[in-house]
């Protein structure tokens, strides 16, 4: 259990300032799951350290967060030190038009260990302390010094972070429970709202949900819908959590026949990158829609007769929990690296096909894209791959579709990710389906998604030459997409980057959970219809899957949306003064750290 009234102290790093950060101590998110967590949440010591190092290098003062505290509408569920960590940060979008500009920006961001959020052919979004903006601009080519606009200004970033956590119980308009209902989750998990209740919004999807709610919710789905839902475990994470999954399907062939045909299976997963919460909520939304639509919506019933779906909303459960309890913007897993100040491996760079971590992140564990020291060093990537392989070898499964959800920038990416020089065998089919999915989303919701090969979406290139602009910063080998496509022979494999296009980035407001869910549900229904046709299965025969001009499944989808009942009662939050002792006793000098970093990078 956690100590609940300890004092949060950032003890000074030797030879650096003797700063004691007095952090406001709002009641924090209450973990209701009986998970044996480490005694204290680990805080990214490197970030603290690097902030101070940069401070000492550049001679900039710590941001004054006192005023921000008064202005921000803080949310009781956000981690207590969010403001201290991000109160002085901004997100800037740089316009880039030449390879030289991109190279200059990449090198500067690398030098300063900045957090590059996303990039396209035309822009790069970078989060950084406002105090670093000046020094950064000083390192850039002259043409770039004016070519930036703030996406999230000082305080807006912190506010956007607070806004992604659920509202405190008392302030919720939907709150109709007495304030002191004891142990709601244990006594009546999601209870009464499961009754059909058409007028009510589905409360589970009005907020992002922590793992401690998602996991019992998944178990509940499995116990309520025993005819077609099973809970599956993908494996155990680095810190010992289950990577939970739901298998949805009716297995009509697995009963009597001695040698049933392989079960065609679609894998829908999210949360490889911890901070991309919309990917997790969207996996759950689509799962819920298919689960509750089975037997009531003919197209969904047929789809689940044709295919099994496996939903894995949090491939990176340790990272996801960390974003809830400690650092909203954490991306990687929580694995210890060989450099003790920088934890975590990027799961989407850690797979064993065309793994290129040795070259691209040069073994630097402090990189947000650190791929590990070797392929499959990242525990969760290895578990997912082993599970998928075992399913195909021992469990009569044939994976025919993969949708790996990420955020942000609204793109549909198809293989390969590692290189634009290698043409995937089924390119025409991949493109055709991607364009169909794009159209399905646009017709139903008016949102435009861009269709690209992942090598372009995941690595900025110049438009003319397709020359890679970000050779060092963003490796794109070792992706889950390529591994499933190439090693597991998943014919239709995609990475979807969900909303938005940069207004909020990873901090997409929760009002987008349901609209994004609907959008991707449409995409999945189109995807399923296309696959049914492609494999000559029943739902295609029954319906004649959409032609070029028809609107795919729109009516069915509207039906699904209406039919989806309110599912889950919002959890009560237990007020708790929740503060932390933090002991950073790193007995080294900054010179040493820099040396080790540089060495790491060159390797
Ligand atoms: C960046 O590019 C966009 C579109 O090309 C343009 O509208 C915008 O003004 C540019 N911003 C800056 C700061 O140069
Ligand atoms: C592989 O699949 C079989 C059959 O479902 C199962 O019994 C076994 O535990 C799995 N092995 C691993 C390592 O997951
Ligand atoms: Zn991602």
Average pLDDT over residues 203-222: 94
Among 6-15, 93-102, 142-151, 314-323, the minimum mean pLDDT is found in: 6-15
Residue located nearest, by CA, to atom 11 of ligand 1: 147
The whole-number pLDDT of residue 361 equals 61
Q: Cβ(423) to ligand 2 under 6 A?
A: no
Residue located nearest, by CA, to atom 1 of ligand 1: 95
Average pLDDT over residues 236-251: 95
CA of 226 to the centre of ligand 2 (A): 21
Q: Is the dihedral of CA 436, 397, 544, 518 positive or negative?
A: negative
- Ligand at minimal distance from the CA of 233 is 2
Residue located nearest, by CA, to atom 1 of ligand 2: 390
Beta pairing partners, 150: 92
Q: Cβ(395) to ligand 2 under 6 A?
A: yes
CB atoms within 10 A of CB 146: 9
Q: What is the pLDDT of residues 46-68, one digit of tens each?
A: 333 344 443 333 333 344 334 44
Output the DSSP codes for 561-595: HHHPPP--PPPP------B--B-------HHHHHH
- Helix, strand, coil share (%) of the chain residues, nearest 5: 40, 15, 50
User: What superfamily does domain 209-330+381-563 belong to in CATH?
Assistant: Zn peptidases (3.40.630.10)
Domain extent listing, the chain: 89-153, 209-330+381-563
Taking the C-alpha atoms of residue 168 and residue 304, their distance in angstroms, rounded to an integer, is 38
CA of 123 to the centre of ligand 3 (A): 17
Taking the C-alpha atoms of residue 199 and residue 272, their distance in angstroms, rounded to an integer, is 34
- Ligand at minimal distance from the CA of 151 is 1
Cβ–Cβ under 8 Å, residues 486 and 399 = no
Q: Cβ(147) to ligand 1 under 6 A?
A: yes
More confident residue, 169 or 552: 169
Prediction pTM value: 0.76
Average pLDDT over residues 541-547: 44
pLDDT level of residue 252 (50, 70, 90 thresholds): low
Q: What is the pLDDT of residues 517-540, one digit of tens each?
A: 999 999 999 999 999 999 988 655
- pLDDT averaged over every residue in the chain: 74
Taking the C-alpha atoms of residue 426 and residue 415, their distance in angstroms, rounded to an integer, is 9
Write phi, then psi, for 515 (nearest 5 degrees). -60, -40
Say if 89-153 and 209-330+381-563 have the same CATH topology: no
Residue located nearest, by CA, to atom 12 of ligand 1: 147
95, 124, 148: which to mutate for ligand 1, most atoms within 8 A of CB? 95
pLDDT level of residue 202 (50, 70, 90 thresholds): confident
Cβ–Cβ under 8 Å, residues 532 and 306 = yes
Output the DSSP codes for 94-137: EE--SHHHHHHHHHHHHHTT-EEEEE-SSEEEEEEEHHHHHHHH
Q: What is the pLDDT of residues 401-431, one digit of tens each?
A: 999 999 999 999 999 999 888 899 999 999 9
CA of 219 to the centre of ligand 2 (A): 20
Average pLDDT over residues 553-582: 36
The atom of ligand 1 lying closest to the CA of 149 is 13
CATH 2.40.170.20 fits 89-153, yes or no: no
Residue from 462, 461, 459 nearest 474 by CA: 459
Residue located nearest, by CA, to atom 14 of ligand 2: 387
């Amino acid at each position: 259990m956690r100590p609940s009234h300890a004092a949060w102290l950032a003890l000074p790093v030797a030879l650096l300032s003797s700063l004691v950060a007095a952090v406001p101590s709002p009641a924090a998110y209450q973990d209701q799951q009986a998970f044996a967590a480490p005694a204290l949440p680990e805080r990214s010591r490197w970030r603290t350290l690097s902030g101070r190092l940069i401070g000492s290098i550049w001679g900039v003062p710590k941001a004054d967060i006192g005023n921000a505290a008064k202005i921000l509408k803080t949310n009781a569920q956000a981690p207590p030190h969010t403001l201290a960590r991000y109160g002085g940060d901004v997100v800037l979008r740089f316009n880039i038009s030449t390879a030289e500009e991109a190279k200059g920006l990449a090198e500067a961001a690398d030098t300063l260990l900045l957090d590059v959020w996303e990039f396209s052919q035309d822009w790069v979004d970078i989060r950084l302390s406002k105090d670093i903006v000046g020094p950064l601009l000083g390192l850039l080519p002259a043409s770039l010094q004016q070519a930036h606009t703030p996406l999230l200004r000082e305080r807006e970033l912190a506010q956007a972070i607070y806004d992604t956590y659920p509202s405190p119980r008392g302030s919720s308009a939907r709150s109709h429970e007495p304030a002191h209902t004891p142990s709601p989750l244990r006594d009546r998990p999601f209870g009464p709202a499961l009754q059909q209740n058409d007028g009510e919004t589905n409360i589970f999807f009005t907020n992002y949900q922590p793992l401690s709610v998602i996991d019992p919710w998944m178990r509940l789905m499995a116990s309520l819908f025993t005819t077609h839902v099973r809970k599956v475990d993908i494996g155990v994470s680095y810190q010992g959590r289950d990577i939970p999954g739901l298998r949805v399907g009716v297995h009509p062939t697995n009963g009597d026949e001695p040698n049933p045909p392989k079960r065609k299976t679609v894998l829908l997963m999210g949360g490889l990158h911890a901070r991309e919460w919309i990917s997790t909520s969207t996996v759950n939304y689509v799962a819920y829609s298919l689960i509750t639509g089975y037997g009531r919506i003919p197209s969904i019933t047929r789809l689940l007769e044709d295919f099994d779906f496996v939903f894995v909303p949090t491939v990176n459960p340790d990272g996801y929990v960390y974003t809830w309890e400690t650092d909203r913007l954490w991306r990687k897993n929580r694995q210890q690296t060989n450099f003790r100040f920088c934890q975590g491996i990027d799961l989407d760079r850690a797979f064993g096909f065309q793994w290129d971590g040795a070259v691209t992140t040069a073994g630097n564990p402090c990189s947000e894209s650190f791929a590990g020291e070797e392929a499959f060093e990242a525990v969760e990537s290895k578990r997912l791959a082993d599970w998928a392989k075992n399913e195909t070898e021992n469990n009569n499964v044939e994976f025919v579709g993969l949708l790996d959800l990420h955020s942000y920038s609204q793109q549909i990416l198809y293989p390969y990710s590692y290189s634009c020089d290698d043409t995937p065998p089924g390119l025409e089919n991949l493109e055709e389906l991607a364009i169909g999915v794009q159209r399905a989303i646009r017709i139903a919701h008016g949102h435009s998604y861009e269709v690209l090969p992942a090598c372009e979406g995941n690595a900025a290139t110049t438009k003319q030459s397709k020359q890679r602009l970000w050779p060092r910063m963003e490796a794109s080998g070792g992706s889950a997409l390529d591994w499933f496509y190439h090693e597991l022979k998943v014919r239709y494999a995609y990475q979807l980057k969900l909303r938005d296009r940069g207004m909020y980035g990873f901090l997409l407001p929760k009002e987008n959970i349901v609209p994004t869910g609907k959008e991707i549900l449409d995409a999945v229904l189109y995807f399923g219809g296309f696959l049914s046709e492609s494999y000559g299965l029943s739902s295609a025969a029954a319906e004649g899957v959409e032609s070029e001009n028809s609107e795919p499944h729109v009516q069915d989808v509207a039906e699904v949306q209406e039919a989806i009942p309110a599912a889950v009662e919002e959890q009560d939050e237990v007020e708790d003064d929740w503060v932390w002792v933090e002991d950073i006793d790193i007995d080294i000098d900054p010179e040493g750290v820099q040396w080790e970093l540089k060495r790491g990078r060159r390797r």
